Chain A
Amino acid sequence: MINYWPLAGIAIVVAGFALRFNPLLVVVVAAIATGLLGGLDFVAVIEALGKAFNDNRYISVTWIILPVIGLLERHGLQQRARALIESVRGATMGRLLVLYLLFRQITAALGMKDIGGHPQTVRPLVAPMAEAAAQKTHGELADEDNEKVKGMAAATDNVGLFFGEDIFFAIASILLIQGVFESYGYPLTPLQLSVWAIPTAICAFIIHGGRLLAFDKRLGAKAIKAPAAPVEEVEEGDAR
């Protein structure tokens, strides 16, 4: 008879996120509940949590980039990114993000997955460029549309990375697949696996690229219905 009780931790996570409790609190409560219901005593659960947190410090170490990004923003990096896009003739938000999607997929497929990312490129460059391009073609956007443009910029970075990186054979996920299949007696080479990431990568480009262009078109249709107000620079980032 299997003990199903540890699954209560999953229920806590789902309910906690749905009820919008602080996610850190939800995660720790779920971890402690899962451990206790899985038969560990309280001290052992805290020890397991502490060890796992400590072993994963490399995830949070990347925040050391923030002083550089902040310093460049202090000197007008976001404004420069906007100006650059405004000066490119024929630049639209849809085309810009399709191009970024392609760039991210190809570079990730060549093993350069660290060339982009949310703190490195999306916040200082891609998101302001996408906003500027959208405003250039459609005039000032409603707040909710601005939010969607920024969300789409981040989404494009994710889609490009996820569905490009597995084409590169020496990446952790490919090695994991290889390891799992090998342990069941199916030796596969990384290259055999990575070529099978190509069909999905093409589908991802077509689906997400199509959505980007359709999204741009929808913004345009909205702008025609409600004629655009003249673009005013808002004191962004400082509003509290």
Chain B
Amino acid sequence: MITLEWLYILAGIIFAIWAVLSARDTGNGKRFGNAAFWGLLAVSFFFGGQMSDFANGMLVLALVAIAGAGQLGRSDPPTTTLTERLGLSQTLGNKLFLPALIIPLTAVIGTVAYNYTPFGETGLFEERRETLILFGIGVLLALGVCMVWLKPPLLAPVEEGRRLMDSIGWAAILPQMLAALGGVFALAGVGDIIGSMAGEVIPEGSIFVAVVIFCLGMALFTMIMGNAFAAFPVMAAAIGIPVLVEQFDGNPAVIGAVGMLAGFCGTLMTPMAANFNIVPAALLELKDQNGVIKQQIGTAIPLWVCNVLIIYIAGFYLWS
């Protein structure tokens, strides 16, 4: 059976190569910082499962120390010039899109086939991880096709990948770090405290105010935690179920489904949702770290209002 562990070994190999290439890159004044950072990530991917929790914790502190001290630099490995790229894009034509499509198509078609055809009965992949594993297979397929078709220098893919990785820098592990923060928050009981506070501010008798507070709680708590999944159980337990469903007799399906979407509006407005908001700003080399969030606020706020109205009208008058 192919497990997630296989994918971690693949990632470990790639990060280890990046670490070695970083250390040898005399053009980067902070080369040893980069080498240590990507090297520690390689260690995490290779051995994280065998290391003790405390050792993993120390690894996290070391990563943060390197990033916090500003020891990550940007590299500039040799590549093609813009003129060469324009020429290549004309010679190679629209076929250039095909390798890029291999990855999502492998992941999507593979997942569908695995779940809805007898292919799934083979038990080839670790349960619930088939999409991520198929994504990894897609990457290897696309890489193979590119190497055979474009015949670049052997080190070109890892060097080009390192250029992108260095331009993303510490933001690359921010999503994983935020997920870890969520774990600690849960352990310290942050959700329960917020839930009990939200439960206390509901005034008697007003359905509309209760809906607004439920949706506001979903959006704000999502902004704090960085994802709506952490907010939903807390807000449902504090307001959604006891007040909206039981006290005011609302439709549970509407309240559940649309309440979650009110939380998604919060996701659009927070740097804590790093993989959606901060990482793309780095990937697109925006000067403003919050450049993506700023474009989303104008959609998130009116859409949040829509969600309040949908719960109020559909959940209490049309299908209560």
Binding site for B on A (CB under 8 A): 2-4, 6-7, 9-10, 13-14, 17, 22-25, 27-28, 30-31, 34-35, 37-40, 43, 45-81, 83-84, 111-112, 114-125, 127, 147-148, 150-155, 157-159, 162-163, 166, 172-174, 176-178, 180-181, 184, 186, 188, 192-197, 199-200, 203-204, 207-208, 211, 233, 235-238, 240
Contact status B299-A194, CB under 8 Å: no
Q: How far is the CA of A94 from the CA of B182 in the complex (A)?
A: 37
- List, in ascending order, chain A residues with CB within 8 A of B74's CB: 240
- List, in ascending order, chain A residues with CB within 8 A of B136's CB: 61, 64
- List, in ascending order, chain A residues with CB within 8 A of B58's CB: 46, 50
Contact status B175-A207, CB under 8 Å: no
Q: How far is the CA of A79 from the CA of B92 in the complex (A)?
A: 11
Which residue of chain A lies nearest to B263 when distances are taken between CB atoms in the complex?
Answer: A173
A-B contact pairs, 13 of them (CB 8 A): A4-B193, A23-B174, A54-B51, A57-B8, A59-B176, A64-B7, A74-B85, A74-B160, A125-B100, A151-B295, A158-B268, A162-B261, A181-B252
Name the prevailing secondary structure of the B interface residues.
helix
Q: How far is the CA of A111 from the CA of B159 in the complex (A)?
A: 34
Q: How far is the CB of A110 from chain B (nearest CB, A)?
A: 9
- List, in ascending order, chain B residues with CB within 8 A of A180's CB: 232-233, 236-237, 256
Contact status B92-A75, CB under 8 Å: yes
Question: Is B202 at the interface (CB under 8 A from chain A)?
Answer: no
Residue among A14, A28, A153, A173 with most chain B CB within 10 A: A28
Question: Is B314 at the interface (CB under 8 A from chain A)?
Answer: yes
Contact status B185-A9, CB under 8 Å: yes
Q: How far is the CA of A39 from the CA of B136 in the complex (A)?
A: 41
Q: Which of A48, A118, A166, A172 contacts B280 (CB 8 A)?
A: A118
Q: How far is the CA of A23 from the CA of B170 in the complex (A)?
A: 9
Q: Which of A46, A71, A122, A194 contacts B284 (CB 8 A)?
A: A122
A66 with B164, Cβ < 8 A, contacts A79-B86, A181-B252 known: yes
Which residue of chain B lies nearest to A55 when distances are taken between CB atoms in the complex?
Answer: B183
Contact status B45-A40, CB under 8 Å: no
Which residue of chain A lies nearest to B271 when distances are taken between CB atoms in the complex?
Answer: A17
Which residue of chain B lies nearest to A187 when distances are taken between CB atoms in the complex?
Answer: B252
Contact status A148-B236, CB under 8 Å: no
Q: How large is the interface on B (under 10, 10 to 19, 20 to 34, 35 or more residues)?
A: 35 or more
Contact status A163-B229, CB under 8 Å: no
Which residue of chain B lies nearest to A119 when distances are taken between CB atoms in the complex?
Answer: B283
- List, in ascending order, chain B residues with CB within 8 A of A166's CB: 257, 260-261
Contact status B59-A80, CB under 8 Å: no
- List, in ascending order, chain A residues with CB within 8 A of B129's CB: 58
Contact status A67-B143, CB under 8 Å: yes
- List, in ascending order, chain B residues with CB within 8 A of A84's CB: 94
Contact status A23-B180, CB under 8 Å: no
Contact status A237-B146, CB under 8 Å: no
Contact status B108-A162, CB under 8 Å: no
- List, in ascending order, chain A residues with CB within 8 A of B302's CB: 207
Q: How far is the CA of A70 from the CA of B99 in the complex (A)?
A: 12
Question: Is B189 at the interface (CB under 8 A from chain A)?
Answer: yes
* 10 tightest Cβ-Cβ pairs between the two chains A and B: A70-B160, A38-B188, A76-B89, A50-B57, A52-B183, A50-B56, A46-B57, A67-B161, A196-B257, A52-B180
Question: Is B198 at the interface (CB under 8 A from chain A)?
Answer: no
A69 with B100, Cβ < 8 A, contacts A34-B184, A38-B187, A158-B296 known: yes
Which residue of chain A lies nearest to B257 when distances are taken between CB atoms in the complex?
Answer: A196
